[in-house]
Chain A
């Protein structure tokens, strides 16, 4: 299964427009900026444009974006404003809802989809190490390495949090002595995270990694990057 996935992703990367790291970053920042600054009046076409551009650049990104878990997450984020934001002044099929809230909800949903496709596209096209080296170039010595570690730590910390919570729940959760329970939960979670960090530090040190000795690698670039940057600047100026 993993082999077929690999072949599939290789095929997808082969079909892609050959952008450099800078180009991918510019497209990612552009899509984020566009949806952040969109107003309720223009959000539909801006989000549509972003999705279209992202799907042209990353044809396979939508496959991994659409799944049941993310749909539930979208519902959790987008549904509450329909009922709780602003005055409940409209009725649809006998269900009262807020008109302002529903617009906000639509805005959030579109932003959710755009951000997801943009993140998926960027992470599938650019390696974390490349992002780290770009950060290093801005004078933040070691931040690139730390960011790489942070991104890799996200799933394991999430797992550690869940396991700590389940263990606490089996012992009564936060029903009695909730403050003590909360402290124990925090202590366990952070301890697990620090222990994991110890392992990562050991692995890095055993490979002779030293932040002082690292030199920034050349960033992968492509002639199309400049065309993309010009187009992005024009589109942002038009929106402003």
Chain B
């Protein structure tokens, strides 16, 4: 991945925008303990990252944006920082892999990348909690099911249904991310007058 000066600055802009949303909105939402706040932040962040990919359609650009946002999150005040930092980077890695495999960003590839990256928000506690905090996967599962059950108004006896519905919500939100980034990216290119090749 060899970026020109212009590409690097453009990536810095999108990384900063993702970072700002995580620092300001992220801190507020996490403090107020709003359900699915991680998903909302992921929708905003990934939309920005995927628009960035449209502007710099090169391998490594999404991971670059994610790395900048992650480093900026370090300057976040209050709340837990390490989890969201890993979350940002995980989402960026998944989106990067999918976009690199599918070639030039198109609506379909953006929807796929958005969908699977937002699914990471649901999967992340099962990976990071045992490693970072030593919690067992079963305890994490119980917590996710309890919170999901409360949110969906379902009993914990239908655990797999809860998990399935949550996964569907995340995937659908990710698809919205793809559509949004495609629409906004196109509108932005028209406004700024920059071609897709950057």
Binding site for B on A (CB under 8 A): 32, 36, 73-74, 76-78, 80-81, 84-85, 108-109, 111-112, 115-116, 119, 140-143, 145-147, 149-151, 153-154, 157-158, 161, 183, 186-187, 189-191, 193-198, 200-201, 204-205, 209-212
Known contacts A157-B16, A187-B191, A191-B188; A145/B8 CB under 8 A: yes
A sample of 19 more A-B contacts (CB under 8 A), given A197-B13, A212-B2, is A74-B78, A77-B31, A81-B31, A141-B3, A143-B67, A146-B12, A146-B15, A150-B13, A150-B68, A183-B187, A187-B184, A187-B188, A190-B17, A194-B10, A194-B55, A204-B5, A205-B5, A205-B6, A211-B4
Is the CB–CB distance between B80 and A194 below 8 Å?
no
Q: Does B159 contact A (CB under 8 A)?
A: no
- The B interface, classified by DSSP as helix, strand, loop or mixed, is helix
Known contacts A193-B17, A210-B5; A187/B12 CB under 8 A: no
In whole Å, how far is A180's beta carbon from the nearest beta carbon of chain B? Answer: 12
In whole Å, how far is A24's beta carbon from the nearest beta carbon of chain B? Answer: 14
Known contacts A190-B17, A205-B5, A209-B5; A147/B12 CB under 8 A: yes
Chain A positions within 8 Å of B11 at CB level: 146
Chain A positions within 8 Å of B188 at CB level: 187, 190-191, 194
Is the CB–CB distance between A211 and B33 below 8 Å?
no
One of B69-77, B101-109, B122-130 at the interface: B69-77
Is the CB–CB distance between B12 and A153 below 8 Å?
yes
Q: Binary interface profile of B, 56-100, with partner A (CB < 8 Å = 1, else 0)?
A: 000000001001100110111111111000000000000000000
Is the CB–CB distance between B5 and A143 below 8 Å?
no
Is the CB–CB distance between B78 and A211 below 8 Å?
no
Chain A positions within 8 Å of B76 at CB level: 115
Q: Binary interface profile of B, 25-58, with partner A (CB < 8 Å = 1, else 0)?
A: 0011001110000000000000010010001000
Q: How far is the CA of A197 from the CA of B198 in the complex (A)?
A: 13
Is the CB–CB distance between B64 and A36 below 8 Å?
no
Chain A positions within 8 Å of B48 at CB level: 190
Is the CB–CB distance between B78 and A112 below 8 Å?
yes
Binding site for A on B (CB under 8 A): 1-6, 8-13, 15-17, 19-20, 27-28, 31-33, 48, 51, 55, 64, 67-68, 71-72, 74-82, 184, 187-188, 191-192, 194
Is the CB–CB distance between A32 and B79 below 8 Å?
no
Known contacts A80-B31, A211-B5; A150/B19 CB under 8 A: yes
Chain A positions within 8 Å of B10 at CB level: 194, 197, 201
Is the CB–CB distance between A77 and B79 below 8 Å?
yes
Is the CB–CB distance between A140 and B67 below 8 Å?
yes
Closest to B51 in A: A190
Known contacts A158-B20, A187-B187; A150/B81 CB under 8 A: no
Closest to A194 in B: B192
Q: Which of A115, A143, A210 contacts B77 (CB 8 A)?
A: A115
Q: Which of A85, A161, A211 contacts B8 (CB 8 A)?
A: A211
Chain A positions within 8 Å of B19 at CB level: 150, 154
Chain B positions within 8 Å of A146 at CB level: 8-9, 11-12, 15, 64, 68
